[in-house]
Copies of this chain bind each other. A is one copy, B any other.
Amino acid sequence: MALLGADVRLTPHRREVFEVLQGSTDHPTATDIFTRVKDRSPSISLATVYNCLEHLSSAGLIKQVHLERGQSRYCANLHEHVHFHCETCGKVTDAHPAAGFDPAKFWNLPAGTKITRTELAIHGTCASCATKG
């Protein structure tokens, strides 16, 4: 079972990591996920959690999120969305695009949200690499 990219064999550990992430809306880190999965599978190791996250994300079932230096976060929401990061409490939440789309209010953030900074990273292949490859 895989949605995008290469297949992943859905072993019990991978399934549990995936399910824990699907059941989380807080963009947990690898160690967050480790402690949550450990409740169900006390024998799992942190190395396996990293390994599962790597396989799941290279299969396109989950995404890695890098908002700031430090631990990577993970997200199982595959719909088009952006991340709102509160610099006061550290919470990371999803924001989905609104219909209608005034660029100022393009992203559907809760009322009262204050935006201080947005960072958009565009990933792809640059023109010179595209012609070479």
Are the CB atoms of B125 and A113 closer together than 8 Å? yes
Partner of A123, one of B65, B117, B124, B133: B117
| Interface flags, A74-88, vs B, CB<8A=1, else 0 | 000000001111111
Chain A to chain B contacts (Cβ below 8 Å), 18 pairs: A66-B69, A83-B120, A84-B121, A84-B122, A85-B123, A86-B125, A91-B126, A95-B122, A103-B103, A110-B127, A113-B125, A114-B130, A118-B120, A118-B121, A119-B123, A120-B120, A120-B121, A121-B121
Residues of A with Cβ closer than 8 Å to B? Answer: 64-69, 72, 82-89, 91, 93, 95, 101, 103, 106-107, 109-131, 133
